[in-house]
Each structure stands twice: as C-alpha cells, then as structure tokens.
Structure 1
Amino acid sequence: MTFIPSEAFKSISYPSRTVKRADRAIRCAPFQLHFFQTIRDNSVFLTTIASNSGVESGYTRSPVSELVAENSLLWLIQVGVLRREVDGQGITDSFRLTPLGRQLVEKWEQQGNSLPTASLCDRMGNTISRGFGLFS
C-alpha cells in the first residue's frame, strides 16, 4: 500500500465549473461541515448519518431519513466530492472524501468553521442539475 501525503491532493487542479458544481452540491446537501471533516479521515456508515443519530453526531442539521441521506450522498458521489468505501467483499455503505472534497473542506476550514449557506438560486440550480442529470 502506498501512502500519499495530503500535499499531493492540493496539486490536483479541477476545472472551475467542476469546483463550482461540487461547492454548490455540498452547500445544498443536508450535512454539516463536521460530517465532511470526519469523512476526510474516517469512513462513516449510512446508519450513523440518518435519523437522530446524524443530528447527535453533528453530521446533519436536522434528522433525515436513510433514503434522503443516501440520495444526497449519491449526488455528492456524482459531482466528485465523495466515494464509497470498498472492502475485501466489495462496496460498503460507508463514505470518504475525494481529493476534490478535501480541497473544498480545507477552503471552508480556512474561511471559518461552517459551510456557507446556499442561496435560493443555488438550491434551484442544484435541484435542476440533480433532476435532469445536468452538470451545469
């Protein structure tokens, strides 16, 4: 197994459109910055994100169903922020940050210790992108 230092993640350059889409998707998701900070270093299982356990862990702002949590996580995978963990038997129900997700979390940590609030325009754009499978 090869260890890649975190500095290597900073060297990856993404198109501005990709970064903007990922930024908007995270801000529109029901998750707190603490969730993204946690999955940067540790995998988190879906069952600890959904329902009251997500709120108690500081992962979500309010309780979300397992379906809502999974759909949000799958969208974040599509935009390149998250990946599913894989074990010896295949894909699991736990999630980790991608290098793009790490870059965004580091940016928000430097700006303060919370995610910026998504505007109504952000939410509408994110909904349209998700609904039609568009990457705008």
Structure 2
Amino acid sequence: MSSVDSQNPQTFSYPSSTVERAKRSLVCSPFNIVLFEAMRHQSVSLNAIAGENGVRYGYTKRLLSELACDNAIGWLIQVGVLRREVDGQGITDSFRLTPLGHRLVEQSQGKNWSAPSLSDRLYNAVIRWFRLPF
C-alpha cells in the first residue's frame, strides 16, 4: 500500500464562477468570519453555532434557531465551502472547511467581509431557492 505525503497538499483549481458563488454565499450567510477561522483548525458542532452559544462565541450575526442554522450550513455545504465531519460511527453534527473554504478564509484573514449588496443578497437568494448550479 502506498503512503500519501501530507507535507505537499494538492491544490485544487476552481472555476471563477464557483469561487464567486462561494464568496457571495459566505458574505450573505448569517455567520461571522470568526466561525470559519475556528473551522480552519477544528470541527465546530451545530450546538456551538446555534442559539445563544453562536452569539456568545461570535459565530453568528444574530440569534439563530437550530433549524435556521442547519439550513444555512446546508447551503454552504452545497456551494462547497463546508463539509460534515465524519467519525468512526458515521456522520456527526460537526462541520469543517473544505479546501475551497480554506482558500477563501485564508484570503480574507485578518479582515471582516464587506457587507453584501442588495444585488448580492438577491442573487444568492434566487440561486439558493432554485438550487441553480451557477
């Protein structure tokens, strides 16, 4: 069996439309960059993000119910920014960044995202509602 050299991670190239959609989704999400910076180093559970914990840790912009939080995270999984954590028992309620998510968070490291424009919010909502692949 061959071994994998983890010192040289493979870099992925993404179409610009994928990167732009992912950026727009992050900016329009109800989450702060603090959450994604935490996910760079460890998985974060849904219980730490939803409700009062999310506001206390600075993960969310406002109080989110568990259902609203799960829906927003589900969208970020679909656009390729997040993935569910898996352990020996199966899928857990924790989440991590994907390689695309790592790239976007590293690019914005040390600064907050700009506020999304009305057109960003509208475009993101339409794509999310219809689940369009662009």
Q: TM-score range by the shorter chain?
A: over 0.9
Amino acid at match of 1:103: R
Q: 1:21·1:135 contact (CA, 8 Å) conserved in 2?
A: no
Q: Unpaired segments of 5 or more residues in structure 2?
A: none
Tell me the distance in 1 between the aligned counterparts of 2:121 and 2:28.
Answer: 6
Shift of residue 2 of structure 1?
Answer: 5.2
SS of structure 1 residue aligned to 2:119:
helix
Tell me the distance in 2 between the aligned counterparts of 1:115 and 1:4.
Answer: 31
Tell me the distance in 1 between the aligned counterparts of 2:5 and 2:88.
Answer: 19
Amino acid at match of 2:34: H
Shift of residue 119 of structure 1?
Answer: 0.8
Q: Unpaired segments of 5 or more residues in structure 1?
A: none
**TM-score, normalised with respect to structure 1:** 0.91
Please identify which structure carries the higher helix content: 1
The alignment-based identity, stated in percent, is: 51
> Is 1:8 equivalent to 2:9 in the alignment?
yes
Amino acid at match of 1:97: L
Report runs of 4+ in structure 1 exceeding 4 Å deviation: none
Amino acid at match of 1:114: N
> Is 1:66 equivalent to 2:69 in the alignment?
no
Query: Which protein is bigger by CA-based radius of gyration?
Result: 2
- Equivalent pairs, count: 132
